[in-house]
Structure 1
Amino acid sequence: MNGAGGGGGADGDVSGPPSKGIDDEVRRVVEQAKELQDAASSLIARTSNEENSIRQRAVSLDATIRRLRSSIDSQLGQRLIDPKLADKLEEELQRARCIMVDGDASAFFPSVPQGRLLRMFLGPINVRASRKDVQLKVKEEYNSYRDRTALLFLLFPASLLVLRSWIWGGCLPAFPVQLYQAWLLFLYTGLALRENILRVNGSDIRSWWIYHHYCAMIMALVSLTWEIKGQPDCAQKQRGVQLFLQWAILQGVAMLLQNRYQRQRLYTRIALGKAKRMDVVWGETAGVDGQLWLLCPILFVLQGFEAYVGLLLLKTAFVGQISEWQVVFCGTLLVLMAVGNFVNTVQTLAAKSKFKAKMKRSKTKHGNAVKGDNNSPTPQTL
């Protein structure tokens, strides 16, 4: 009994020291956690102060650039400065701003307010990336999304029209058409979300293209409720649907050309300091004249065809062949989008023409400066 009691006491003595050791280690861990928290808080405070200082410098420098631009425009309007010198100064200011916006300093500029679409889908979440590599990854994903959807935009309606002629006896079933309309809703919603995120991260996407995708989203949503008429007289009832699918094929071709040409143009402008890496240019701003001669007719034909489809839908509604409200709504929306696309394209081409005239004056000045020097390189055409 005594031996058993002694053994019990021995066991208690053995278990004591390990327990005390664990207790001491836990206390050390707690102290280390507090020290780590204090160090992290101190670092965040120092970093926050430095960030505020850099942010103020970035905002101040951006305001200075805007003031200088306004001053140059004012002096140019009053003819107090030579136009060639004004162009040169404007180009230097643009290059300086591209340096800031394309570099790590871009994270310290005030963020663009998020659009209602982002707030509606994501809530009050900040989607601005603080690192430039993350911003560029967002843009590359946007470009990849456009490449993928351009191919589908071409193949999906083409498949429907081929199956209509070969299998469905000239009459489109309702389900495949509604499936295509549902895909259009997904497509334009994805584009609008990505473009809003790009704008928050410093891209210069034109507002019209985002509004255009809003209109396309609404039209796709409304068209899902549009009953697809079949026999009898299927060809007449589905005339608007057939024309819309044909227009979509042409749109897919134009999107493929745009995606190819716009990247060539944007890379050139980035290399020259004329654009930011987060910028997105559209097909009508493609680089060389040969590309414009190819794209511009396609774009204007697309816009005319879009308006024609819209007017055809309105005509079928007003003459009583198809009286659903969806026909009137989609027809009106197509006409409005065609007009908006045409106006935006003309404005872009006018801006491009003005830019090319400015570059021509700059090259003429440069050519006069190096005239007679046979070893001087020839200025490259943009």
Structure 2
Amino acid sequence: MERVKESESESEPASSSSSSAATGKLEEEVGRVMDQARELHESGASLLWKISNEEQSLRQKAISLESSIRRVRSSINSLISKKLLDPKFARKLEEDLQRASSILTDGEAAAFLPAEAQGRFLRMFLGPINVRASRKEVQLKVKEEYNSYRDRTAFLFLLFPLTLLILKSWIWEGCLPAFPVQLYEAWLLFLYTGLAMRENILRANGSDIRPWWIYHHYCAMLMALVSLTWEIKRQPNCAQKQRGVELFLQWAMMQGVAMLLQNRYQRQRLYTRIALGKANRMDVVWGETSGVDGQLWVLCPILFAMQGFEAYVGLLLLKTAFVGVVTEWQVICCGILLVLMAVGNFINTIQTLVTKSRFKAKMKRSKSKPELD
């Protein structure tokens, strides 16, 4: 027993010394980790301070260069109006300025230019968050995601109403039930909200989307929201009351076809314009723009027919409301919105075609002058 006690007493100092050694080693390791963390923090803060100063310097240079381009362009126009500058030489200077502007707005320096105002729509959904990407590849990913979103929704825009119309004839005996139609209208609300948000973000990142197309999607969002509250019941005269819904589904199918044509043909034309330096890499296709002559001959009749049909559906809804067939306020609101969107689309289409014709006439005049010389 005494020997056992002696061995236990001898082992206690050994274990306590090893424990204190392990504790000291662990404390030293923790101290080294703390020193590395402080060093990394100081290095990161120093790097961020340098980057912030360099960004501020580059931002001032980019703003100054943009101002210089505007000033030189204004001087060229002033000299041309006073006939103090040769038009041929002025065109060459303008082309060089356009290349410089494209390098500035389409290159990596574009991130240092002042950002577009984000608007109330984005602030309402996202709050005061800056959605402008600092790196060009991130901006291009946002644009590619927008294009893929349009491709996906174009097929759904065509298939969803087509399915409803087929089921109406084969299964539902010519009268649409409420739930599938409201499901389609909820999808439209989601679609137009997603398009409006993506387009606002693209504009904040330097895209050339016209404001009207964003306002058009606001109107479409409002129409989808209002139509969700539009009660559709199976009644003896439901075919007459649902005539406007049926025509709207047919118009949606036409819009799906037009979207497929725009997404396929106009995007190819946009790539050509970007290669020629006439468009920005952040620009997107919309409406009837960017199409060549052969494509416009196909696309413009479809667009005008779709706009006329859209106005017809809106007027039909207003007629059914004023005659007394369907007197709900939702019918009047949807009719007004459809007519408003049709008129706005028609005006923008005409403005775009006039702009394209003027540009082509200007190009022909510029080509004919060297031949005459």
* Root mean square deviation, CA, Å: 1.7
Q: Shift of the alpha carbon at 1:58?
A: 0.6
Q: Shift of the alpha carbon at 1:367?
A: 5.6
**CA distance, structure 2, for counterparts of residue 81 and residue 261 of structure 1:** 40
- Amino acid corresponding to residue 347 of structure 2 in structure 1: V
The answer to whether the aligner puts 1:319 opposite 2:335 as a matched pair is: no
Corresponding residue of 2:336: 332
Corresponding residue of 1:74: 78
Evaluate the alpha carbon distance shift between residue 99 and residue 35 of structure 1 in structure 2; reply closer, same or farther with a 3 A threshold.
Answer: same
Corresponding residue of 2:294: 290
For residue 149 of structure 2, the aligned residue among 145, 151, 158 is 145
The answer to whether the aligner puts 1:46 opposite 2:50 as a matched pair is: yes
Question: Aligned pair count?
Answer: 369
Identity of aligned residues (%): 72
Corresponding residue of 2:251: 247
**CA distance, structure 1, for counterparts of residue 140 and residue 19 of structure 2:** 60
Alignment of 1:153-192 (within 5 A): 153-192=157-196
Corresponding residue of 1:233: 237
Alignment of 1:32-111 (within 5 A): 32-111=36-115
Corresponding residue of 1:363: 367
Local SS of the residue matching 2:280: coil
Corresponding residue of 1:119: 123
Q: Which moved more, 1:257-266 or 1:119-128?
A: 119-128
**CA distance, structure 2, for counterparts of residue 295 and residue 153 of structure 1:** 18
Evaluate the alpha carbon distance shift between residue 272 and residue 29 of structure 1 in structure 2; reply closer, same or farther with a 3 A threshold.
Answer: same
Tell me if structure 2 keeps the 8 A contact 1:158–1:245. yes
| Deviation readout 1:145-196 (Å, 9 max, x if unpaired) | 1011111111111111121112211111111111111111011011001111
Q: Shift of the alpha carbon at 1:366?
A: 5.8
TM, length-normalised to structure 2: 0.94
Corresponding residue of 1:379: none
Tell me if structure 2 keeps the 8 A contact 1:69–1:90. yes
Corresponding residue of 1:22: 26
**CA distance, structure 1, for counterparts of residue 89 and residue 314 of structure 2:** 49
Q: Shift of the alpha carbon at 1:69?
A: 2.5
- Amino acid corresponding to residue 30 of structure 2 in structure 1: V
Evaluate the alpha carbon distance shift between residue 77 and residue 219 of structure 1 in structure 2; reply closer, same or farther with a 3 A threshold.
Answer: farther
Q: Which moved more, 1:275-284 or 1:333-342?
A: 275-284
**CA distance, structure 2, for counterparts of residue 30 and residue 102 of structure 1:** 44
TM, length-normalised to structure 1: 0.92
Evaluate the alpha carbon distance shift between residue 318 and residue 74 of structure 1 in structure 2; reply closer, same or farther with a 3 A threshold.
Answer: farther
Tell me if structure 2 keeps the 8 A contact 1:151–1:256. yes
The answer to whether the aligner puts 1:7 opposite 2:11 as a matched pair is: yes
Q: Shift of the alpha carbon at 1:141?
A: 0.8
The answer to whether the aligner puts 1:197 opposite 2:201 as a matched pair is: yes
Q: Which moved more, 1:1-10 or 1:74-83?
A: 74-83
Q: Runs of 4+ in structure 1 displaced over 6 angstroms?
A: none
Q: Shift of the alpha carbon at 1:115?
A: 2.1
